[in-house]
Amino acid sequence: MSIKLIAIDIDGTLLNADHVLTQHTVDTIRTATIKDIQVVLCSGRPYSGVASYLDRLGLNQSAHHYVITLNGAVVQTTSQKLLVSQALNSADYQKFAKMAQEKGIHFHAETEDAIYTPDVPVGRYTTLDATLTGLPVMHQPGQGVSAKTVIYKGMLADEPKYLTRFLADQQLVTTLQQKYYVVRSQPYFLEMMNAHANKGAALAFLGQQLGVTPDEMMAIGDQANDLTMMSFVDNGVAMGNAIPEVKQAVKFVTATNDEDGVAVAIEHYVL
């Protein structure tokens, strides 16, 4: 196969279980970029949670490298020139916050700069998200945010059993899906976004911009929020630790994230 672009998820894919980017993976990706292969980090995190990895990979602050963040809601150059923005609004925030309160589930929303939550105390998994993204948590009393606040994700962030129970309400989930992109990105995160925001759509945009076709792209991931990019590219690679739905959707399965699965895939299929 002739690969010109590799899209790589971060959590559970690029990083190992300890959230560490290994030197072997860094060296392998740098080798790919030296060969003029476009490497695009494609994450549910905002830019702040991705920047340090762009730096280690030599992809930072460039007008010629790209990054997909917030599950495809934002596409930008790594020098932060905005190319795509698919946002939510304050009414969406109010709707999600009310729904979460009624269901007894912790909720927060992400912008590029902060995490907003009405919860007191702040939920455990909201705190985890803040740690992963490097965003400050802003307590927003009640259920409202300013109309000027550009929200990209509403997130139910709680124990996996509570999210599984929420998803069992098929009527509610179907109603949400009629207006939003709804995806479980981790066992403890259920994300609700603009209906046009997903990793596959973001890759389609980049492909048009760069003149790269789906058969010239590889995507590597592990969770349900990676399925849209697996469907778009011709060369999907599931991590060994991926959920069954991702493994069933792709041609190839690599090693786990604790076994440098990204490096193994690139070395085997690309270099």
Q: Which amino acid is at 261?
A: G
Alpha carbon distance 5, 202 (integer Å): 13
Q: What is the pLDDT of residues 114-137, one digit of tens each?
A: 999 999 899 999 999 999 899 999
Q: What is residue 81's three-state secondary structure?
A: coil
| Residue given tokens 């959920």 in the structure block | 243
Which residue, of 160, 194, 228, is where some domain finishes?
194
Check 9, 11, 222, 260 and give the catalytic one: 9
260 is catalytic: no
Which helix H or strand E contains 133, and what residues bound it? helix 124-133
- Co-location of 161 and 253 in the same domain: no
Q: What is the pTM of this model?
A: 0.92
Q: Is residue 220 a contact partner of residue 262, using CB atoms and an 8 Å limit?
A: yes
User: CATH code at 203?
Assistant: 3.40.50.1000
Alpha carbon distance 234, 1 (integer Å): 10
Alpha carbon distance 93, 179 (integer Å): 13
- Co-location of 231 and 189 in the same domain: no
Q: Is residue 130 a contact partner of residue 118, using CB atoms and an 8 Å limit?
A: no
- Co-location of 203 and 77 in the same domain: yes
Which residue, of 156, 175, 194, is where some domain finishes?
194
- Co-location of 169 and 256 in the same domain: no
Q: What is the pLDDT of residues 21-60, one digit of tens each?
A: 999 999 999 999 999 999 999 999 999 999 999 999 999 8
Per the structure, how many domains does the chain have? Answer: 2
Residue 140 pLDDT > 90: no
- Co-location of 106 and 72 in the same domain: no
User: CATH code at 168?
Assistant: 3.30.1240.10
